[in-house]
Amino acid sequence: MNLAGLIRRLTVWQWIFAVIVLGGLYATYLRFLHGLGSATHLSDQFPWGLWIGFDVLCGVGLAAGGFTLAAIVHIFNIERYKPILRATILTAFLGYVLVIVALLFDLGRPYRIWHPLVMWNPHSVMFEVAWCVMLYTTVLALEFAPAVLERFQWHAPLRLLQVVSIPLVIAGVILSTLHQSSLGSLYLIVPHKLYPLWYTPLLPLFFFLSAMCVGFAMTIFESWHSSRAFGRQLEVPLLASMARVLAVLLSVYLLLRFVDLRHRGALDLVVVPRIETWLFWLEIALMAVPVVLLFRRSVRLRPGALYACAVMVIFGFVAHRLNVSVTGMEAGSGTSYVPKWTEIMVTLAIIAVGFAVFRIVAQYFPVFPEEAPRPALAPAAGDD
């Protein structure tokens, strides 16, 4: 009777959540009991698929808001962004934890994930990424720790954290710079496999720049969602001025992409009728349309339009990462790859759990500032 009552009270979103999580659990069972072969469409020719291309490459990038905003607030001392900093740090922390969870699915021997700590190979990009991700996850945990300590009124460790807060932020920015770009460096080793629209010695730079862009886009995206979920005011002036920085960064990124294509003599490829070309243009369009829109003041100040632009940038970013890791690798590997349902299910379940945990943490810990009309503090510097 209780169960029936519970089922009747579930909302549509809770239903979707339950279905995804149950599906994810079944996929998890298949993955760990029957191996990667039966749970994925990976092969000797195509050893990295959705879990690396989306869960890891995109996951780390989508959590990039953490280091950009921490630098803006603490290093550049632009205090007016402080109200949204904690939520961003929390998202970043959860993002990294989920990336590590996804890695545990993808690694053939997940229980050896600690091996890079003691078995070193400094010549490996993967080794560097492993160390950076581990250290940065620790930094993020410490950056978010004050929220937990405040909740339980533990003042002694709080004071200690305050003392080391600036070195911590600096370490976080450096570590992020290193591994965000290194995710691109991973693919420097496959000049013979990656399609020339994407293979460039500048891959690390492009991964870093696009991570910063998506860091801003994700901050806008999250602010919009948490303002709805928690019935809070949206910090429109804050987000609008952030959108300006985003527009400039995106323009620089896009310009560099084409300058790079021209220098490598790959510009002709953008009109060759192949599947790669279409996906390239999709990726570019998803980044270029928001640039045009965000340069208009009216768009920046309309929450809905701002949100739509942020979503486009996020999709454009995901498209780039998937183009590098999947689309661009298919022809060179002499095979094609479409993820199996289990791969998609695990990915969806990880995202769903991420959303749920964020909601729970935000409810019980001081993630958002008290509802005092804080935005009014922002001096005339709102948007213009």
Partner 1 sequence: MSKAILYDTTKCIGCRACEAACAERWGLPYDDDIAKRETLSERKLTTIVTHGERFTRRLCMHCEEPTCASVCPVGALEKTSLGPVVYHEDRCIGCRYCMLACPFQVPAYEWSQALPRVKKCDMCFERQQAGLPTACAEICPTQATICGEREELIAEARRRLAENPEGYYQRIYGLEEVGGTSVFILTAVPFEELGLRANLPRQPLPVLTWRVLSLVPDIVTVGTALLGGIWWITHRREEVAAAEGKERKS
Interaction site with partner 1 (CB under 8 A): 32-38, 42-45, 47-48, 71, 74-77, 106-110, 112-113, 115-116, 119-130, 166, 170, 173-174, 177-178, 181-182, 185-186, 188-193, 201, 204, 329, 333-334
CA distance 236 to 84: 12
Compute the least distance from the CB of residue 303 to partner 1, in Å.
28
Q: Which is nearer to partner 1, 32 or 152 (CB)?
A: 32
Q: Cβ closer to partner 1: 72 or 294?
A: 72
Q: Give the nearer residue to partner 1 in terms of CB position, either 25 or 166.
A: 166
- The nearest distance, CB 187 to partner 1, in angstroms, is 9
* d(C-alpha 86, C-alpha 73), whole Å: 11
Provide the minimum distance between the beta carbon of 243 and partner 1 in the complex, in angstroms, as a whole number.
22
- What sign results for the dihedral spanned by CA atoms 175, 178, 181, 186? negative
With respect to partner 1, which residue has the nearer C-beta, 71 or 218? Answer: 71
Shortest Cβ 273–partner 1 spacing (Å): 23
| Residue 352 and residue 17 in contact, taking contact as beta carbons nearer than 8 Å | yes
Calpha distance 215→80 (Å, rounded):
17
Place of tokens 């891959």: 203
Q: Say which residues have a Cβ less than 8 Å from residue 84's Cβ, sequence separation at least 6.
A: 69, 219, 222, 223, 235, 238
Chain centroid, CA 222 distance in Å: 12
Residue closer to partner 1, measured from CB, 36 or 261: 36
Q: From CA 61, how far away is CA 55, in angstroms rounded?
A: 10
Smallest separation (angstroms) from partner 1 to the CB of 171: 8
